[in-house]
Chains A and B, each alone.
Chain A
């Protein structure tokens, strides 16, 4: 009942809703390699089919798509970077009541978890 964020229904969320420039505000490495670009990402720019990953030292480009699987109740992102292809589960997607603020949680199969926000 407070002014907390509202959960989007991930079964029905339209794909374009995930586009945009996502700022990394927190991360959980678990046993993921901390030296990878993903583990060090500061921004994740998801434009139509095009992906750019910013770190404090550089940028990595690639492609992305949204995938769905009957075994999962949520979509996942397929990120194709220069030398690797990784999958990231959309664990949570929340938004403010007016829709201006959004928060995204991505969970990678490596155990890495990124917490991102817009704007």
Chain B
């Protein structure tokens, strides 16, 4: 087949594309054959639909999930939750967009309605409530991960986390900022962040967020993560 470009599919990260201008070849990093479809197509559709509505000028879209989708069942049984999650995601703008343009301009949607055909009211409300709760967490994660290396450098990231959780019941936030203490307590972290030592605004932080349920608890769950802002070849992760 004659062609001016060659599109090549290789195993790798789905939906990513690398363009190589010197050879005019395209490497599309997508598994061939691609994975079987899964229920994410519902959240993708809701997200795309709300995004189109917003682009058309809507500020209060009403999302109807037809009975054929809401009642499909099987692995698609959580269609209502998925649709609500996708619709809410479409309303998000990155933290730097919000800061630059203002919240109202960056995120113009003020209300979202959901009409899940054939779903009883209690189940619909439960799906919406859960989707909103999940979205609140996802927004924090997106803010942290979408901010550029300066906006979400460790000190700024720690301030964002403190501000986000301030005043919430049963949640405490502790931030370790002292470089010497971090060096003594987390020597490996200090070792790999030594390139930051002369740049205070890039100093590492240890942030501990603790949630203690009001009704007591029976086990501890600890989630540990590492964030890298400037990655200069293992010189300065935080």
Q: Do A and B make up one complex?
A: no
- A interface residues with partner B (beta carbon < 8 Å): none
- B interface residues with partner A (beta carbon < 8 Å): none
